C-alpha cells in the first residue's frame, strides 16, 4: 500500500503543476470575487450535471440549457471558469478511465 500511496502523491503533485489545474484555480479565484455570478454558474453546472445523468437527448437539451442561461454563458468570468473546470475534469476522467481500462475490474453489470 505504501507504493500506491507514493504513486498517488506523485500523481496529485503532477496534476497540481499542470496548466489545466492552474487555470482552474485562477478562474475559481476570479469567479469567487463575484458571488452572484458564482451562484448562477453553480446553478448552470448543477443543471448540466443533472442533464448528463438523465436519459434525455443530451445534445438537444444542452443547446436548450445554454440558450436559457445565455446571460451566464455570455459572461467572460463565468465562461473562463466553466471552460477551466471542464479542462480540469477532463484530466480527472482520463485518470479514472485509464485506471479502469488498465486494471482487471469487472463492470459488465452496467451493460
DSSP letters for 12-55: HHHHHHSHHHHHHHHHHHHHTT-HHHHHHHHHHHHHHHHHHHSS
Closest CA to 38 of 81, 85, 90: 81
DSSP structure class, residue 97 = H
Closest CA to 31 of 77, 66, 69, 74: 77
Q: How far apart are CA 74 and CA 85, in angstroms?
A: 16
Closest CA to 69 of 58, 82, 56: 82
| Arithmetic mean of pLDDT, 86-91 | 95
DSSP structure class, residue 103 = S
pLDDT digits (tens, 9 = 90+) for 16-65: 999 999 999 999 999 999 999 999 899 888 887 887 777 776 666 777 77
Looking at residue 110, what is its pLDDT?
60
Cell of 48: 448540466
Amino acid at each position: 500500500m505504501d507504493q500506491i500511496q507514493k504513486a498517488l502523491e506523485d500523481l496529485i503533485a503532477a496534476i497540481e503543476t499542470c496548466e489545466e489545474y492552474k487555470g482552474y484555480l485562477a478562474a475559481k479565484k476570479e469567479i469567487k470575487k463575484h458571488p452572484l455570478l458564482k451562484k448562477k454558474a453553480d446553478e448552470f453546472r448543477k443543471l448540466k450535471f443533472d442533464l448528463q445523468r438523465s436519459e434525455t437527448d443530451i445534445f438537444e437539451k444542452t443547446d436548450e440549457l445554454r440558450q436559457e442561461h445565455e446571460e451566464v454563458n455570455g459572461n467572460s468570468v463565468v465562461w473562463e471558469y466553466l471552460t477551466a473546470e471542464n479542462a480540469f475534469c477532463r484530466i480527472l476522467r482520463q485518470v479514472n478511465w485509464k485506471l479502469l481500462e488498465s486494471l482487471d475490474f469487472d463492470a459488465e453489470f452496467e451493460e
